[in-house]
Chains A and B, each alone.
Chain A
């Protein structure tokens, strides 16, 4: 059974940093596509970043240069390092995965975590 469990959210001051983690089980993180999606309070979904199985990473313009997506294969865990945080980064951050091959090879999301709340405020 695929499971994604996020952690690391919390309250941080503007300009601060935070690292989110996503522990995966039921599949191998390094062999599949892993992404982060966020949702500001009362708003829609916003794609943040993706890391493909080959290691390529891509970011939304809104976070480029401030956020870094990475993975630890030995821990089967995905990370999102968030620096220079702004009030507009306040959101629930979801970890998401696509099982390559099982649902084709195009970009997308099959499974979602429950999310972790990040609040940027002084």
Chain B
């Protein structure tokens, strides 16, 4: 069973930039894992931010971007806002038969 790893917590200053990463125990993350990124605020359902590595939904704020970085999937937030404080999860697909979420990154804007 693959394990997907994320930073447990990160802190960013308002207006600052932070990068969250998503790694796989099976090796480098590629576009073939179709990396997804989700945001979840307390008491709410998750919301999809990024699909297929770097594509944004119509509701995704422009300050969020996705990429592959050093063998991992990455979510970069440029110009952090107080409302971006949340838990962020990545999702990787393994040949379409197994989906695995990362453990989540608690992002604090302080």
Contact = CB atoms under 8 A, between A and B. Distances in A.
Contacts of A112: 45-48
A44 B90 CA distance: 11
B51 A47 contact: no
Contacts of B103: 44
Interface string A100-118: 0001101111111111000
Main secondary structure of the interface of B (DSSP, over half): strand
Given A104-B52, A108-B34, A112-B47, 9 more contacts: A37-B101, A45-B91, A47-B99, A60-B98, A94-B45, A106-B34, A107-B93, A108-B48, A109-B91
Interface string A49-90: 010100000101100000000000000000000000000000
Given A45-B38, A103-B51, A104-B52, A61 B1 contact: yes
A60 B40 CA distance: 22
Contact of B91 (A60, A108, A113, A115): A108
A52 B95 CA distance: 13
B45 to A, nearest CB: 5
B36 A109 contact: yes
Interface of B: 1, 34, 36, 38, 40, 45-48, 51-52, 55, 57, 87, 89, 91, 93, 96-104
Nearest to A48: B99
A106 B34 CA distance: 6
5 contacts: A44-B104, A103-B57, A107-B34, A107-B93, A112-B45
Given A107-B93, A108-B91, A109-B36, A45 B101 contact: yes
Contacts of A37: 46, 101
Nearest to A46: B101
Given A94-B45, A109-B48, A113-B45, A45 B93 contact: no
Contacts of A52: 96
